[in-house]
Every structure is written in C-alpha cells, then in structure tokens.
Structure 1
Amino acid sequence: MSKSFMSDRLQILHYARHKFFKSLLLVLSVSMYPGLWSIGVQLHSAFTGSYAPGHHSLLLINSPNELAAKDIGRVIMERRLAASINILARTSTMYYWKGEIQDASEVLMLVKTKTSRIQQVMDFVRSVHPYANPEVLSFLVEDGSLAYMKWMDEAIPDD
C-alpha cells in the first residue's frame, strides 16, 4: 500500500473516532443524571459549534389582561426561570368553555426558558393564574442563534 493511501485512511479513522467520541459524550450526558444534561449540551456546542435541539423551549401563556401577565412574568423572571419574556398586545381569542363558545380578549406571554425549567414555570403559573385552567403550551426550540442560546444558558442557572 502506498503512503498516501495509508495517510488518507488514518485521517478518515481519526475523523470517525473524533465524531464518535463527540456523539458518545452527548449520549452519556443525556442518559445520566439530569443535571448533567446542561453540561453535556454546553460541551456538545463547544466541540461542534452547533446547537443541541431541544435544550431550550418557548412557552405560550395567555392572561386576561396586561397587569396579570406582568405580575406573573415578573415573578418568573425574579425566580430566574426564564431568560426573557415578551408580553404581546391584547389579542382576540375564541375557545370552548363548559360547552359554550367564548369570545374574549387576552394578553399573550412568550416565555423563553430552558426545557428543564418548564415544569417549574407551569407549576408556578397554575398556582397564581386567575384562570381555573390556564393555557400553558411549550414548544422545543430546534435551532436558533448560538450566541442567543448561550446567553439564555447564562441567564438561567442550572437546576
């Protein structure tokens, strides 16, 4: 075999081993103690320069008015359960409640947080929200600005 062939083969093996260990690192961190998930994601991002989908989430929370939304949002921020909250202008909403179609106006909150914090946010919202059955929907963030995601990690302490 030629030296060039052997050199190419060694480079391929080195690359494959490098990719394997990066993937193994992420898998191990996910499967171990949940607190290691955040560290694993940060290491994955550092090694690959990419975002690990699902580490962050966006929650939609409706409130009856701006005051309720701001009160709920302020405590979420004070407890450092979210990196950022947008409170959007009043919107029209229609929904079924007790078999009847309701037509109302609400204020929508967009809560940006770590996926590991969703349950804490939902528990808090349920405990203080004026609605008997508050709307709290979460969506995993699949991709986004790596710098923004890093800022979110810094803004929200680990569990």
Structure 2
Amino acid sequence: MILVLICALYPVLKTLCVQIHSAVTGSYVAGYHSVLLVNCPTEQTARDIGRSIMEKRLAACVNIFPRTTTMYYWKGEIRDTSEILLLVRTRTSLVQRLVTYIKAVHPYDIPEIISFPIDDGSQHYLKWMEDAVTDI
C-alpha cells in the first residue's frame, strides 16, 4: 500500500524536490524543462496546433518559424517539401502528454515530434516558464 502511494505521488514529490533544490541552491536543475520541434504542413496547421497547446497550458511559449525546406525518406523515395516549424518550450514532465496530444491532432501519419532537455539558461526565463505551464 505504501509503495502504491509513493508511486502515485512521485510526480508531485519530484516537482517539489526540484523546486526546493532550486530555491535553496539558487541553481537550475538540468533537464527540468524541454524544447520540442514539431514540423507542420501549413502555417494554419502550425497556428492551430500552437494555439491549442497554449490554451491547454501545456507550454510556456510556442514559436512558429516560416517555411523551411525539408528533405526526407518516405515509402522508399526522397521527398522535398516545404514545412512550418514549431518550437515549443515546456516542462520535461509534460513532454509525453504533448506528444500524445500533437499526434492526435496532427494531419501527418507520423509527425516529427522531437524533444531536447534544457541544460541551462537564464534563471529569470526558466522561472517564467515554470510559472506559465500548468501542473495538471
């Protein structure tokens, strides 16, 4: 029973420990936040996905980069197309929720969703990110 309780409370306890560590030491815990790259077929798709991510408070910020040229293998052929890139900043603990959500709303069969942990950065910006993203 105690083990089940600890497992259920693990995400809350981890967040609390990270916040205490940061408050006591004044330092950032590497990997607590992440950046996701998501390619979209059109600017409207990128705007729709970006806005819905923001409305759900799953990210602190979403940048929409203009058209990029993408070359990739698909069904044995090299394809060359234009795409729009989303740059999403969030907590690492929310990455899997974001991946699941984006896959559900993205028009591609296999959308590109890649995440990178943030090792360090501006403490003020990282604090702002922390405050902007929901705990749900």
TM-score w.r.t. structure 1 length? Answer: 0.78
Distance in 2 of aligned mates of 1:125 and 1:74: 12
Q: 1:144 aligns with which of 111, 116, 121?
A: 121
SS for the counterpart of 1:118 is helix
What residue identity is the alignment partner of 2:87?
L
Distance in 1 of aligned mates of 2:16 and 2:134: 12
The structure where helix makes up a greater share of residues is: 1
Matches within 5 A, 1:40-55: 40-55=17-32
What residue identity is the alignment partner of 1:41?
V
Aligned Cα root-mean-square deviation (Å): 0.9
What residue identity is the alignment partner of 1:100?
E
Does structure 1 residue 35 correspond to structure 2 residue 12?
A: yes
Does structure 1 residue 108 correspond to structure 2 residue 85?
A: yes
Q: Structure 2: where are the runs of 5+ without partners?
A: 1-8
Q: Structure 1: where are the runs of 5+ without partners?
A: 1-31
**Retained in 2: the 8 A contact 1:61–1:109?**
yes
4+ long deviations beyond 4 Å: none
Distance in 1 of aligned mates of 2:74 and 2:12: 39
Match of 1:156? Answer: 133
Q: Which has the larger radius of gyration?
A: 1
Q: 1:72 aligns with which of 9, 29, 49?
A: 49
Distance in 2 of aligned mates of 1:154 and 1:48: 19
Q: 1:126 aligns with which of 100, 103, 110?
A: 103
SS for the counterpart of 1:88 is strand
- Whose RCO is larger (CA < 8 A, sep 6+)? 2
Distance in 1 of aligned mates of 2:60 and 2:104: 21
Deviations along 1:97-121, whole A, 9 cap, x unmatched? Answer: 0010000000000000000100111
Distance in 1 of aligned mates of 2:129 and 2:17: 16
- In the TM superposition, residue 122 of structure 1 has moved relative to its aligned partner by 0.6
TM-score w.r.t. structure 2 length? Answer: 0.91
How many residue pairs get aligned? The number is 128
The structure where strand makes up a greater share of residues is: 2
Match of 2:65? Answer: 88
Does structure 1 residue 117 correspond to structure 2 residue 108?
A: no
Identity %: 56
Match of 2:6? Answer: none
